[in-house]
Amino acid sequence: MTHLLHLDPAARAPLYRQLADKLAERIADGSLPAGTRLMSVREMAIDLRINPNTVARAYREMELAGWVTTQAGKGVFVAEISAKDQNQAAQPDDLSDAVDRLLSVAETHGLSLHQLISVLKKRALLSTEKKLRA
């Protein structure tokens, strides 16, 4: 499974977020169907060469978002998710928190909403171009 997961330590997003996002993408696209057992925290950490705490945090975040369930003594499994739930889970509460922080920083720096939107569009274009080159 993890041969398809590539985390970028130099990326702005923390490793736990990258891992959670990549696993959620695979769940959403059906690559990881409901009931699939994910690697243990230790196995995933060894496979990806990252700290086990990073994997544990990613799994915790995914469980809070409804993507996975933990069964004591058995492991972490992909949850049954309806299409409606997938859309809701794809918009975690921490996204709202991030937007609030962004708006606060923009206000602190005197940026108008129009200026902020312009910056976001430029960053999105740069991100898309970077992905296309990769």
Q: What is the predicted pLDDT for the residue at 90?
A: 53
CA angle 106, 110, 113 (to 5 degrees): 55
| 1-91 maps to CATH 1.10.10.10 | yes
Strands (E), 1-134: 68-71, 75-78
pLDDT tens column, 73-95: 999 999 987 444 555 555 556 67
Q: Which residues contact 28 (CB under 8 A, 6 or more apart)?
A: 86, 90
Domain ranges of the chain: 1-91, 92-134
Q: What is the predicted pLDDT for the residue at 124?
A: 84
In angstroms, the CA 124 to CA 126 distance is 5
pLDDT tens column, 19-38: 998 998 888 888 999 999 99
pTM for the complete prediction?
0.61
Q: Taking 50 as the threshold, does the pLDDT of residue 63 lie above it?
A: yes
In angstroms, the CA 83 to CA 126 distance is 30
Q: What is the predicted pLDDT for the residue at 82?
A: 45
